[in-house]
Structure 1
Amino acid sequence: MTGLGFGLFQPQLKTDVASMISAAQAAEAYGFDSFWVMDHLLAPGAPPCDTLESWTLLTALATSTSTLRLGHLVGCAPFRHPSLLAKMAATFDRVSGGRLELGLGWGSVESELTAFGFEPGSRRERSEALAETLQILDLMFAGDPFDFAGKHFTLAGAYGLPRPVQPRIPVHIGGGGKQLTMPLVRAYADWWNCVGSARDRLDELAPLRGTARISAQYAVGLVHDEADRDAVAARIARRMPVAAWGQPLVGTPAELVSLFETERARGVELAVVRFDDFGSPDTLRRFGTEVISPLRERSS
């Protein structure tokens, strides 16, 4: 059985750069493998609030950490032309010393695209455009001049230099749709990120992923004291509803170890977690020392 890695999802809403840096440094110190931000220009479904731009923020996190892998859960491909995205990704991989995890999706929030002047097109058109984006990224990362003539993008005499540090930047494609997402996972992804709302269908969808490894998203409520269990469950239900996040994992560290062992047995190799208290220092410490460490020891 393969080991189980852990990522921390920390959306950059109603926060500042210093707080995000502190969270990333704590995640690195307590044994998380990766740290993930969102890629939105607004907070979907929420009133207007501070929402830091993701690539700029990740660069600050890269210069403030040393081993933590960094990425988007997941990047919105329609926001950036693929040639610009490739240049940004290669530059960030250089800045971070080869720590980029490239999460991408075809953009599921049409109202956000429209609000900021991006022509959304149809869902199928956005999926087709993402397929072309992934092809162009490979060509850009190779560093050689190339032409590309697609339905959505045309490039002539383009090239991507400097090349990334990593021989291949891992591509994570997020979603759970059989028609528009899973074919992209099979064709292009190193990782399939199963969103929380699709996790109850993981066993059904997994055969469609091809050779991509499986990561999954989890709403997690760590019970520090048995007397607080009901409060933790209520808070996670309010902040991360089942419709968006799937059934939450709520329990003491020992109970969470057991729950994540079950997920590992289902084939999940990376668990990306979002905590009910948004990752307080004490929660990150206890989760790292009492959940991640025991699981790592059992798989060694």
Structure 2
Amino acid sequence: MIVEDNTVPIVSKQKRGPCMQLRFGIHVGLQDTTVADVLGVARHAEDLGFDWVSAWDHFYPSSHADGGSLEAVSMHTALAAATHRVQCGVLVYCATYRHPAVLAKAAATIDQLSGGRAQIGVGAGWSAREHAAYGIRFPPVAERMDILEESATCLRLLLRQRESEFSGRHFQLNAARLDPRPVQPALPIWIGGAGEKRTLPTAARVADGWNAPFLTAAEFGRKHGVLREHCAAAGRDAGEIRCAANVGVAPDQAAYEQFIGTMSTIMPAGGVLRGSGAQLGDGIARYVDAGANQVNFAFRAPFDLTTLDAIADAMRTFQS
């Protein structure tokens, strides 16, 4: 059984399912920035009433060859230590970079550190450049999807059972224990991505949350429908899975061009909300109507806190 997380939610005026309430978060890119700046934007978001702060998992900037990117596990830990109320996650850890038992051990410790506010996401990975640079094998996409499903399954076992056994092609667990345990008896596990043949079925089977980055609201809604179909096929209540849309925000054309310039060339160019005020609120509402019960706003350095303030203003129109 999946246990609901213990967030303090923002309640939507939109019609929601029986359990899920609307949450808002920020998702911070770790390229070309400093620890102090990342923690500063996270604290500001918490002060403004956001529910969630997450970071990505990359070794290099996603959009250019030069520059640097902070490491995900250590920044996940720092975010947990620097905040007091928000849920803290990574969207998403790359399944080919870390053995799931090692990742589960880190997540349990971060949950202890945060007092029960850790969440963990995993994805199949896509950066061939990072794999090559660090000498990590970059399997074909079908094999990466197998690794993702096995990794998520192992994480679920380790984080929810006293002792775990698993024998897969890529990972094995032999009477594996995770002590000390996380504070949360069912630390939420997210699957990131929008692939309809493998990613969404995996999310339907093993995830507590599904995260899709930079889709238009219409495409998010269509993918959400596909996820629900996979849940039905798996005998799973789709209402158990929190569905998050990651979107960019650009108050003007210059901000839009700056944000698009920070994205990888393989990422879709949709999913960037334009304007501010009522226009921004209308954009958020389209994702909510499409099935999102969490909207994460992507931020890349240099961080513009005035944009964060504008999002918070629009966000409050959804509060009861």
Listed as ranges, the matches of 1:22-171 within 5 Å are 22-171=40-189
Distance 1:237 1:138 in 2: 35
Corresponding position of 1:186: 204
Q: CA deviation at 1:240?
A: 4.8
Q: How far has the Cα of 1:90 moved from its partner?
A: 0.6
How far apart are the structure 2 equivalents of 1:144 and 1:129? 23
- The answer to whether 1:268 aligns with 2:289 is no
Paired residues, what number?
290
User: Shift of residue 274 of structure 1?
Assistant: 2.1
Instruction: Name the one with the larger helix percent.
Output: 1
The residue number in structure 1 matching 2:10 is: none
CA RMSD of aligned residues (A): 2.1
SS at match of 1:193: strand
TM-score by length of 2: 0.84
Superposed counterparts of 1:253-264, under 5 Å: 253-264=277-288
CA shift digits 1:131-185 (9 cap, x unpaired) = 1112222221235233321111122222111111112111121111112211111
**Match status 1:19 vs 2:37:** yes
Match of 1:215 among 234, 237, 244: 244
Name the aligned partner's letter for residue 112 of structure 2: R
Equivalents in 2 of 1:72, 1:168: separation in Å? 17
Which residue is 1:226 aligned to?
A: none
2:190 aligned partner? 172
Q: Which moved more, 1:138-147 or 1:34-43?
A: 138-147
Contact residue 219 and residue 240 of structure 1 kept, 8 A = no
Q: How does 1:247-258 map to 2 (within 5 A)?
A: 247-258=271-282
Deviation at 1:294, TM superposition (A): 1.6
Instruction: List gaps (5 residues or longer) in structure 1.
Output: 223-228
Conservation of the 8 A alpha-carbon contact between 2:217 and 2:286: no
Output one character per residue of 1:102-149: Cα deviation in whole Å (capped at 9) or x when no partner: 111011222322221111222111111221112222221235233321
| SS state at 2:296 partner | strand
Q: Distance in 1 between matches of 2:121 and 2:46?
A: 20
Deviations 1:237-259 (A, max 9, x none): 44458953414211122211122
Q: What does the per-residue CA deviation read over 1:55-92, in whole Å, with 9 as the maximum and x for residues that have no partner?
A: 11121221111001111121111111111111111111
Q: Is the 8 A contact 2:31 2:301 kept in 1?
A: no
Is the CA contact 2:216–2:271 (under 8 Å) kept in the aligned structure 1? no
Task: For residue 274 of structure 2, give the secondary structure of its aligned residue in structure 1.
Answer: strand
CA distance in 1, matches of 2:99, 2:300: 35
Gaps of 5+ in 2: 1-14, 232-237
> What is the Cα deviation at residue 292 of structure 1?
1.4
Change beyond 3 A, Cα 1:217–1:278: farther
Letter in 2 for 1:268: A
C-alpha change, 1:198 and 1:292, in structure 2 (3 Å) is closer
Tell me, in whole angstroms, the C-alpha distance in 1 between the residues paired with 2:216 and 2:97. 24
Partner-residue secondary structure (3-state), 2:187: coil
Determine the structure 2 residue equivalent to 1:294: 317
SS of structure 1 residue aligned to 2:43:
helix
Are positions 1:283 and 2:283 aligned together?
no
Distance 1:6 1:244 in 2: 22
CA contact 1:141–1:161 (8 Å) conserved in 2: no
